[in-house]
Amino acid sequence: MVEAVTSSSDETEAIAARLATRLAPGDVVYVSGELGAGKTTFVRGACRALGVGGPVTSPTYTIGHRYDGVSHLDLFRFERLTDADWGALEPYFEDAIVFVEWPERAGGRLPPPRVEVKLGHVDEHRRSVELASAEPDLLAGLL
């Protein structure tokens, strides 16, 4: 696990961008944290590094956004996923790097993550960022 404290959205996005350059289609990244902790900011930084040029916004009410080779899911509105819900989400995992906000709402139905990101409030302006992976080399030198 690697940990950092960021003092701005730009710093949070920069960590995500460095991680994104180490990912490939088929990789899943869980992004957890309380409301306002910077989950979408983190995903935006990764998307920018992966070539997404348009707006990167939270898909809270649409479930997901699909960009060129990148999917961004937000499961906040689910209490747990049903078979029908999974059927709607499954296409987002095809040929993409997938970032999933609120993965705990899936009740274990998601593919396993390559990286787990946890964001939290340190204070009004600073955020904690923790990254964990079963592949220590993936995170080596990231921060």
Would you state the pLDDT for residue 60? 65
Q: Tell me the pLDDT of the chain averaged across its residues.
A: 92
pLDDT digit string, tens, across residues 82-127: 888 888 888 999 999 999 999 998 888 899 999 999 999 999 889 9
Of 108, 70, 102, which is closest to residue 86 (Cα–Cα)? Answer: 108
If 0-12 CB within 10 Å is exposed, 13-18 middle and 19+ buried, where does residue 32 land? middle
Assess contact for 121 and 127: CB atoms under 8 A: yes
- In whole angstroms, give the CA distance from residue 90 to residue 54: 23
Distance, in Å, from the CA atom of 143 to the CA atom of 126, rounded to the nearest integer, reads: 16
CB 136 within 8 A of CB 114: no
Domain locations in the chain as residue ranges: 2-139
Helix (H), strand (E) at residue 115: strand 115-121
pTM: 0.93
Helix (H, G, I), strand (E, B) or coil at 100: strand
- Return the structure tokens found at 57: 């916004």
Query: For the domain 2-139, what is the CATH code?
Result: 3.40.50.300
